[in-house]
């Protein structure tokens, strides 16, 4: 599964940063995030099943991003929203969390803990910035950015949906890209901003590769036109 990293062009800069700050990198970051998502999901489920205990109805209400609540003093919401589990059923939560863990752990093995932390941090900062501008933020696009990075690096990697249906990740990435495009067209301006800024890590880390692909395509077309004359 080895592939040339998109960081190669900036290798010296990143290597210097890694030598200086690498000791602060959190190893197995995705395992930590997925464990907390699973714990919160189970805690919410328990609280819903035990309404007579006098406990809050769920934990998630204490964690989601809300600009008014953050400005009123609930500052933990600036980061706690990244731990919220996907809004799905108890059947599909296992598939979702396993998939999150797998894509994140593969990226960490490919890039190393420091570079993976940096990629995730860029997405988090972008999401927070969008949240303060629009008033609300979700970790949905942040988690999606991990999958898109995985699909860019390993487009032909095959996964089995529900352990049965084989699908290459590049086709799932196309579906997700169409989902994002739909959001950019039909969402409010705040929603559009959330999509764009929360995917800042994709733009920063892969933008140069996309530009080079476009340039190579243009050069190839020009060469083909010149040789047809």
- Please give the pLDDT value at position 41: 93
Residue 12 tokens read as 């010296």
- Let me know if residue 216 belongs to a domain: yes
CA 228 to chain centre: 44
Q: If you count them, how many residues does the chain have?
A: 229
- The number of distinct structural domains making up the chain is 1
- Let me know if residue 93 belongs to a domain: yes
CB-based contact 34:101 (threshold 8 Å):
yes
- Let me know if residue 50 belongs to a domain: yes
CA distances to 49, 174, 192, 197 from 206, in Å = 45, 16, 20, 15
- Let me know if residue 3 belongs to a domain: no
CA distance 35 to 182: 31
Residue/partner pairs of 11-19 with CB below 8 Å, 24 or more apart:
14/115, 14/118, 17/114, 17/118, 18/112, 18/114, 18/115
Cα Rg of the chain (Å, integer): 20
Here the CATH number for the domain that contains residue 143 is 1.20.1540
**Tens digit of each residue's pLDDT (9 = 90 or more) over 177-192:** 888 888 888 877 777 8
**Model-level pTM?**
0.80
Give me the mean pLDDT over the 122-136 stretch. 87
- Let me know if residue 1 belongs to a domain: no
What is the residue range of 107's domain? 8-228
Give me the mean pLDDT over the 43-66 stretch. 83
- Let me know if residue 123 belongs to a domain: yes
């Amino acid at each position: 599964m080895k592939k040339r990293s998109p960081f190669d062009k900036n290798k010296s800069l990143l290597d210097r940063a890694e030598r200086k700050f690498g000791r602060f990198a959190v190893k197995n970051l995705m395992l930590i995030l997925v464990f907390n998502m699973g714990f919160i999901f189970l805690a919410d489920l328990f609280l819903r099943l035990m309404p007579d205990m006098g406990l809050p109805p769920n934990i998630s209400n204490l964690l989601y991003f809300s600009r008014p609540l953050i400005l009123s003093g609930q500052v933990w919401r600036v980061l706690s929203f990244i731990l919220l589990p996907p809004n799905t059923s108890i059947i599909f939560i296992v598939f979702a969390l396993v998939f999150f863990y797998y894509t994140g752990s593969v990226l960490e093995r490919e890039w190393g803990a420091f570079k993976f932390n940096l990629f995730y941090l860029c997405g988090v900062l972008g999401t927070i910035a969008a949240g303060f501008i629009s008033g609300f933020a979700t970790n949905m696009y942040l988690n999606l950015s991990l999958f898109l990075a995985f699909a860019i690096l390993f487009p032909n990697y095959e996964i089995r949906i529900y352990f049965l249906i084989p699908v290459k990740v590049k086709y799932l990435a196309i579906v997700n890209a169409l989902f994002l495009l739909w959001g950019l067209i039909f969402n409010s301006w705040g929603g559009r901003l959330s999509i764009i800024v929360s995917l800042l890590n994709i733009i920063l880390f892969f933008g140069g590769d996309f530009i080079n692909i476009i340039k190579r395509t243009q050069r190839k077309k020009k060469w083909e036109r010149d040789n047809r004359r």
